[in-house]
A and B are shown apart, each in its own frame.
Chain A
Amino acid sequence: MITNQFAVMLLLGSFAILILLRVPIAFALGISSILTAAYLGMPLLVIAQGIVGGINVFVLLAIPFFILAGEIMSQGGIAQRLVQLAKALVGFMRGGLAMVNVLASMFFGGISGSSVADTSSIGAVLIPMMKKEGYDADYSTSVTIASSVQGILIPPSHNMVIYALVAGGVSVGQLFLAGIIPGVFLGIALMIFSYIVAVKRGYPKGEKLKLRSALKALRDSVLGLLTVLIVVIGVVSGVFTATEAAAIAAVYAFIITFFVYREIPLSQMNSILSNSLKTLSIVLILIGTSSAFGWLMSYLRVPAVIADTILGISDNKIVVLMILNVLLLVLGTFMDMSALILIGTPIFLPIAVSVGVDPVHFGVVMMLNLGIGLLTPPVGGTLFVGSAIGGVSIEKLSRAMLPFYAVMIGVLLIITYIPQLVMFIPKMFY
């Protein structure tokens, strides 16, 4: 079945060796593609063209905008407002600040689709606050990074845009809607878990907020929360494309931050652009080289071989979904999310579809699965950021994360095997 076994081994083997030797993933993908193309005697220009072609895609224009919108909101004081609102709602319970953290991430997820942005903005506000009230540093950081994964599930989410692009024929609007229940469900599971931990360890209750300050918190944050409505309603109703919605979200964020909230001077746009560029400098090259790599994979018919192998083990939906989840979890520990969506979707989606899984459902499963991968060593973007912000070493943080991984994998299994949870809202609209 494989046309050229050695080429496949060269592509995958050189990639494995390169990343093991600490070559950045984005470049390792490029270098193994070049080596393989050279072995196959292809003109090497194909790879350079593939890298450019991977980035030169209209739908991807949404990415800079969603990142920018999130960055404007987090520097513009919306994070504090969302924390206030969450405090008003759940802060009075035992372990209140841990729950506030989860709920604030849920709200923030409706503004930014990035788990890293969520960790850096919500974490910067809440981790110091939690430490001051006697929460352990590793626990505070774990709650922050675990809950930040809600941002990927709750729309807007630029990773869903990438998935829709590679999956082909899946609407971004449907994916956005499909992420809502799983995102909220993950938040509730994390809140229940943090409540249990708080009772066990005797973490403090927060003060009860007066109705008036609760209403004020709501009024202050409602303008920010409107972002999610604009994006979701716009995309779902078909009024805007994802790219247009992203541009509108960024412009909207700009207007309310600089003309309504007016907490930061316009000159801070410079640092907002710098920070957005920092994220983009990592994401875009990765998208480019992953596309070239992914193209070679399909050229060598690797997806078909993997499909045959997996379906050879079983064609039972439950078993196949389990195998896919385990594979994605393992790959997610050492690969980055956007690269895995680009390379993995063409391999795994057809397998899932062949056993009768809806592409929208599979997309959401993949988002949560790879979101967990962002929190696991040895390569976990959110884990690294959390460790820096919380001042906790990666080793200590990963150990504190163990029970959180268990909770998240539990949620993953539930949304994998109860598709109704994912498909309920999209079915209402489509």
Chain B
Amino acid sequence: MEKVARYVGVAVEGLCKVLLVIQILTVSWVVFGRYVLNKTPRWGEELGLMTMVWFGLLSASLAIRSDSHLRLSLLDMILSKKNLKVVEWFVTIAVIGFACFLIWSGIQLVELTSSNRLSGIRISSAWLYLAVPVSGVAMLAQLLDKARKLR
């Protein structure tokens, strides 16, 4: 599990960086096109947004791995180590529930939207919603690794 989580983490980080670069180049190209070439490529805005949705959701799993999501730390000062561990189990299970929700509802969204087409980049809008279940899986990989370490 540790290995899986590490590989998923590395793969997700690499993919997110690539997506971020694509987004930067796309939007810069749109701006360049608008001011210099006097035409705005229609696919530009949609591609920029789609990449942002993808790396926005996917990278949430990286912040789970590095434990950098913002949270309230009041209980840390009050509870004993043992009780804190119980709370940590609760947190992990709650977020696992959220990840499973993303997978379940994401798959439905993909099925539901597979016949819609994005007008600019002319691909199915299922590609946009595919980010939801995939991110759910990436989160789940990190969460299961966390649960294993908690044991």
Contacts and interface: CB of A to CB of B under 8 A. Distances in A.
Interface of A: 18-27, 30-31, 34, 44-45, 47-49, 51-52, 55-58, 60-61, 64-65, 68, 240, 243-244, 247-248, 250-251, 270, 273-274, 276-278, 280-282, 284-288, 334, 336, 377-379, 381
A51 B133 CA distance: 12
Interface of B: 13, 16-17, 20-21, 23-24, 27-28, 30-31, 34, 45, 48-50, 52-53, 55-57, 59-60, 62-63, 66, 68-76, 87-88, 90-91, 94-95, 97-98, 101-102, 105-106, 108-109, 112, 128-129, 131-132
Given A282-B68, A378-B74, 6 more contacts: A19-B71, A22-B76, A22-B87, A58-B45, A273-B21, A281-B59
A51 B53 CA distance: 9
Contacts of B62: 277-278, 281
Contacts of A243: 27
Given A282-B69, A284-B56, A277 B31 contact: no
A111 to B, nearest CB: 18
A25 B72 CA distance: 8
Contact of B48 (A61, A288, A334): A61
A56 B98 contact: no
A200 B48 CA distance: 54
Contact of B28 (A251, A274, A377, A378): A251
A278 B23 CA distance: 16
B59 A284 contact: yes
B75 A51 contact: no
B27 A247 contact: yes
A31 B94 CA distance: 8
A10 B108 CA distance: 26
A144 B66 CA distance: 25
Given A49-B109, A61-B27, A247-B28, A378 B73 contact: yes
B71 A22 contact: yes
Contacts of A22: 71-73, 75-76, 87-88, 91
Nearest to B97: A31
Contacts of B128: 52, 56
Contacts of B102: 48
Contacts of B108: 45
